[in-house]
Structure 1
Amino acid sequence: MEYTHLSEFEIRSGTLSMWTPELAAAAWRPDDRPLTSVHAGYCASVDPADPLPGRGRWIGTVFEMDAPLDRSAWRETLRRWHTRHEGLRTTVTTATAGESRRLVGAPAAVDIAERPVAGLTDGARINEFLRDTFEQRLSPLVWPHCLAATVEHADTSDFTVLVAADHSVMDAYSQAILILELRTLYREVIAGAQARESVTFGSAADFAVLERARAAELDADSPAVATWREFLADGAMPRFAPHAQRPAPADLPQPSVSRRLLDLAELEHVEAVLDQVRHRTSVAVFAALAVANQQRFGTDRMRTVMPIATRPDLRWMESMGWFVNVVPVDIALQPGVGITEAMDLARTALRRSRSANDASWSRVLDLLEVAETPRFGISFLDIRVLPGYELVADLRGRTLRAESYSSDEVFLWVVRAADGLYVSTRYPAGFPAEVMDEFLTAFGQALISITATAHADTSVGGHPSMSAIAPAGPGEVPTPTEPRDVGADALRLAVQAG
């Protein structure tokens, strides 16, 4: 599954409709549960007078439903979805001074309104219309925070589904799981069946209570704060290859690149070797990125932040919400180091970052009096933790991000998909495209080199080195040869989400 811009997805021509959730004013109730630390800070950072609140902020999902569009059934599908997930019926009020407060809408009061968009059937024009609509209408301060669109394709008896949301009510894992959830709900409605009940649709607001309690326990002597303090010892968030940056107008959108680094045969070859030397795919990814960073930019130290999933219990396994923390990763290489040693160092760095897993990064930065936010991040997702992940590719499923206009942020998303390993990135308009291309090429080559290097290391006596057979620990994604536990712990460790 690629993580890309909507502009890079070819929407087939058809009949467009927008689907908007509605709640009467009387259906909203004040809720004493707090916002998470990051949610509160995010709301405070948004200008309520911004005419384009979704610009650079919205995220979403697009896929093709393998069934004809029954409008009544689709409306009921979306109604059930909003009823199920309290996070989709949650908003904030800024009527009082200080932090935004939570409002929750009654589930029985939710309705879904369809608005056909007449005279717009060309796929390219639909794509442009939707991008403009999401920039104008999606905000953390104004409900609804989630919108849906359908494009009916009468000639093929199916329809495209696009769901877009403000980041405050959705994370990367939510983006991925909603494809099969909406498909299942739609089939239940068509069949006249009741919606599946589950304890795994827990409220994001209940998670916020837990997160804020943990955040309140942090102080200057907490291990997580010490980890971040060391990471920020030079007083600044790390940047990606700042010396390669060139001046560019501030209003230019960031370029985006999405490519398959390894096809399935290449990836499985790499993973077989990783299994021999007891390393996980996530370790290999971070090691290869550190090696590519050293080779292309002459830097022996790669400092970055890593988004991680923070769904600490099964009750939030299938929830819609923003369950993400950020941890620091610091990988220092010796000059000319090989990929085998780089993987050992990367594993050590990933394990070190675990001390910050449960510590709200925004609260930690407050304690350290650091106002700067992360500028360079790397996220990893193994899509095989998702139930029914094989079907996502058949439905042309993509997770989406809005175009960014940052002049200094660089983010990379690496996805272990059903058919190979993908990387997507966004970077400043002033960063040369050829330099990013060379870096991504070096990244792929470093991954491929694992096969030759690891075989060489294990050729004598047929046994890997002692350092290579150290038990693989949390923070690393299971390889295909291991039993696949999709419980909360597996999700927490295997999904490092944006």
Structure 2
Amino acid sequence: MEYTHLSEFEIRSGALSMWTPELAADAWQPDDRPLTSVHADYCASVDPTDPLPGRGRWIGTVFEMDAPLDGPTWRETLRRWHARHEGLRTTVTTASAGEPRRLVAAPTAVDITEQPVADCTDGTRINEFLSGTLEERLSPLVWPHCLAATVEHAATGDFTVLVAADHSVMDAYAQAILILELRTLYREVMAGEASRESVTFGSAADFAVLERASAAELGPDSPAVATWREFLADGAMPRFAPQAQRPARADLPQPSVSRRLLDLPELEQVEAVLDQVRHRMSVAVFAALAVANQRRFGADRMRTAMPIATRPDLRWLESMGWFVNVVPVDIALTPGVGIAGAMDLARAALRRSRTANDASWSRVLDLLDVAETPRFGISFLDIRVLPGYELVADLRGRTLRAESYSADEVFLWVVRAADGLYVSTRYPAGFPAEVMDEFLTAFGQALSSITAAVHADPAVDQAGAGQPSAAVRAGSAADGLPPSVVAETPMPTDARALRAGTLRVAVQAG
């Protein structure tokens, strides 16, 4: 599953409709549960007069439903989806002083209206229309915070679905799980069945209560604060290769690059070797990035932010919401270190970062009097843990991010997909494309070198001789990392079969 821009997804031509949630004016009820720390800060950072509040902020998902479009059925599907997830019928009010307050509508209060866009049938034109609409209509301050669109393809008997939301009500995990959830709901409605009930559709507002309580316990001497303080010892968030940056106009969108680093045979060979030395692919990815950073830019230290999902209990396993924290990762390499040594150092760095797993990064930065947010981030996930991930590929499922206009942010998303290892990145318009290309090439070369480097170590070859390669499960003692760092995104068919410990996932946050 690629993580990309909507403009990079080829929408087939067809009949376009927007589907908008609606509520009566008196449907909103004040709710005493707080916003999470990051949600409150996020709302405070948004200019309420901005004519394009979704610009650079919205996220979403696009896929092709393998069934004909029936309007009433799809309308009921979306209505049930909003009734199920309190986060989709939650908003904020800024009427009083202080941080925004939560408002919630009842499950039965939401209706869905269809707005056909009759003069827009060409796929390219549809893409442009949707991109503009989402920038204009999606905001953390104005409900609805989530919109849907369909493009009916009458000739092929199916339809494209776009679901887009302000980041405040959706995270990367939610982007992934909604594809099969909406497909299941659509089939239930079509068959006249009741929707599946589950304890795993917990309220994001209930999570916020726990998050704020935990954040309030943080103090200057907390271990997480100490970890961040050391990470920010030079007084600034780390930048990616600042020496390569060139001036550029502030209104230029960031370039985006996606490529396959390793095909499946190459990747499986690397994974077999990692099993021998009892490292996980997540460790190998961070080590290879640190090595590429050293070789390409001469930097022996790679500091980056790592987004992780924070769903601490099974009740939030299938929830729509923003369950994300950010932890600091600081990998210091010795000069000339090889990839094998770099993996040991990367694993140690990831273990250090786990002290910040459960500490709100927003609150920690407040305690450290740091107003700056992360400018360089890396995320890794393995989509094979998503039951039905093969179907998601068949449905052309893609997770989407809005085009960014940042002059200094660089983010990398590395995905272990069914057919290989992929990397996507966005970077400033002033950063030379050839320099990013060279860095990504060096990253791929470092990963490819793992096989030869490990086999060149006699101790490894002797220890592994005649022994079958056994996969190390997420969070095992051999890996040295907890599930909160290394577990890839779970999306179970039966949520009750999963441990709560697998819910903290290293996925993108912004």
Please state which band the TM-score falls in when normalised by the shorter chain: over 0.9
Deviation of the 1:476 alpha carbon: 4.8
Superimposed CA distance per residue, residues 308-341 of structure 1 (whole angstroms, 9 cap, x where no aligned partner): 0100000000000000000000000011111111
CA drift of 1:478 comes to 5.8
- Unpaired runs of 5+ residues, structure 1, are none
1:206-255, CA deviations, whole angstroms, 9 ceiling, x for partnerless residues?
00000000000000000000000000000000000000000111110000
- Partner SS, residue 120 of structure 1: coil
Q: Tell me if the contact between 1:3 and 1:401 (Cα under 8 Å) persists in the aligned partners.
A: yes
Does 1:265 pair with 2:274? no
Structure 1 position 462, deviation (Å): 2.1
CA separation in 1, counterparts of 2:498 and 2:61? 22
Aligned pair count reads 492
| 1:387-442 deviations in Å (ceiling 9; x for gaps) | 32221111000000000000000001111112211111100000000000010111
How big is the alpha-carbon RMSD for the aligned residues of Structure 1 and Structure 2? 1.7
**In 2, are the aligned partners of 1:414 and 1:424 still within 8 Å (CA)?**
yes
Deviating more after overlay: 383-392 vs 14-23? 383-392
Q: Which structure 2 residues correspond to residues 407-418 of structure 1 after superposition, within 5 A? A: 407-418=407-418
Relative distance call for 1:356 and 1:477 in structure 2 (3 A) is closer
Q: Which residue of 1 aligns with 2:11?
A: 11
Identical columns (%):
85
Q: Secondary structure at the residue paired with 1:67?
A: coil
TM-score by length of 1: 0.96
5+ residue gaps, structure 2, are: 466-471, 489-494
5 Å-filtered alignment, 1:10-29, equals: 10-29=10-29
AA at the equivalent of 1:185: L
CA distance in 2, matches of 1:385, 1:312: 18
Tell me the SS of whatever aligns to 1:463: helix
Partners in 2 of 1:204 and 1:51 — Cα distance? 28
For residues 248-263 of structure 1, what are the structure 2 equivalents within 5 Å?
Answer: 248-263=248-263
Deviations 1:113-150 (A, max 9, x none): 00000111000000000000000000000000000000
Corresponding residue for residue 471 of structure 1: 478
2:106 alignment counterpart: 106
- Match of 1:194, as an amino acid? A
Which residue is 1:126 aligned to?
A: 126
- Answer whether contact 1:416 1:422 (CA < 8 A) is retained: yes
Aligned to 1:489: 501
Q: 1:314 to 1:458 in 2, by over 3 A?
A: farther
Contact map agreement 1:289 1:443 (CA 8 A) in 2 = yes
After superposition, the C-alpha distances for 1:16-69 in whole angstroms (9 at most, x for unaligned) are 000000111111100000000000000000000000000000000000001100
Equivalent pair of 1:83/1:107 in contact (CA under 8 Å): yes
Q: By how many angstroms is 1:493 displaced?
A: 4.3
Letter of the structure 2 residue corresponding to residue 80 of structure 1: R
Deviates more, 1:23-32 or 1:452-461: 452-461
Aligned to 1:421: 421
One-letter amino acid of the structure 2 residue matched with residue 490 of structure 1 = T
Which position in structure 1 is the counterpart of 2:32?
32
Aligned to 2:76: 76
Q: For residue 231 of structure 2, what is the aligned residue in structure 1?
A: 231
Structure 2 contact 85–201 (Cα < 8 Å) conserved: yes
Aligned to 2:117: 117
CA contact (8 A) 1:457 1:464 kept: no
Residue 244 of structure 2 aligns with which residue? 244
1:399 maps to what in 2? 399
The 8 Å contact of residues 382 and 477 in structure 1, kept in 2 or not, is answered as: no
Cα distance in 2 for residues equivalent to 1:309 and 1:252: 30
User: Partner letter of residue 227 of structure 1?
Assistant: T
SS at match of 1:462: helix
Mapped to 2, the partners of 1:450 and 1:172 lie a distance apart of 29
Cα 1:290/1:321, change in 2 over 3 Å: same
The Cα shift of 1:261 comes to 1.2
Report what 1:364 is aligned to: 364
Aligned to 1:221: 221
> How many Å separate the matches in 2 of 1:276 and 1:478?
19
Q: Secondary structure at the match of 2:319?
A: coil
Residues 431 and 495 (structure 1 numbering): CA distance in 2 closer, same or farther, change over 3 Å?
A: closer
C-alpha separation between the residues in 1 aligned to 2:419 and 2:189? 31
Offset at 1:489? Answer: 1.4
Q: What is the distance in 2 between the residues matched to 1:388 and 1:323?
A: 23
How far residue 497 of structure 1 moved from its aligned partner, in angstroms, is: 4.9
Secondary structure, counterpart of 1:235 in structure 2:
coil
Shift of 1:488: 2.7
What code does the residue aligned with 2:241 have?
A: A
Distance 1:78 1:242, change over 3 A: same
How far did residue 491 of structure 1 move?
2.7
- What TM-score do the two structures reach when normalised by structure 2? 0.94
Asked if 1:381 is matched to 2:345, the reply is no
* Equivalent residue number for residue 148 of structure 1: 148
Match of 2:108, SS?
A: helix
The range that moved more, 182-191 or 387-396, is: 387-396
Aligned partners of 2:109, 2:161: CA distance in 1, in Å? 24
Give 2:207's aligned amino acid: F
Q: CA deviation at 1:263?
A: 1.6
Question: 2:270 is matched by which residue type in structure 1?
Answer: V
- 2: CA distance between counterparts of 1:381 and 1:458? 31
Give the whole-Å Cα distance in 1 for the aligned partners of 2:275 and 2:452. 14
Equivalent residue number for residue 179 of structure 1: 179
1:447 aligned onto 2:443: no
Cα distance in 2 for residues equivalent to 1:127 and 1:305 = 32
* Aligned counterparts of 1:319 and 1:443: Cα–Cα separation in 2: 35
Change (3 A) 1:461 1:432: closer
Are positions 1:49 and 2:49 aligned together? yes
Cα distance in 2 between the residues matched to 1:367 and 1:487: 33
| 1:276 to 1:28, Cα distance in 2 relative to 1, 3 A | same
d(CA) in 2 for partners of 1:356 and 1:223? 8
The Cα of 1:496 is off from its aligned counterpart by: 5.9
Consecutive aligned runs of 4 or more in structure 1 exceeding 3 Å deviation: 458-461, 475-479, 484-487, 493-498
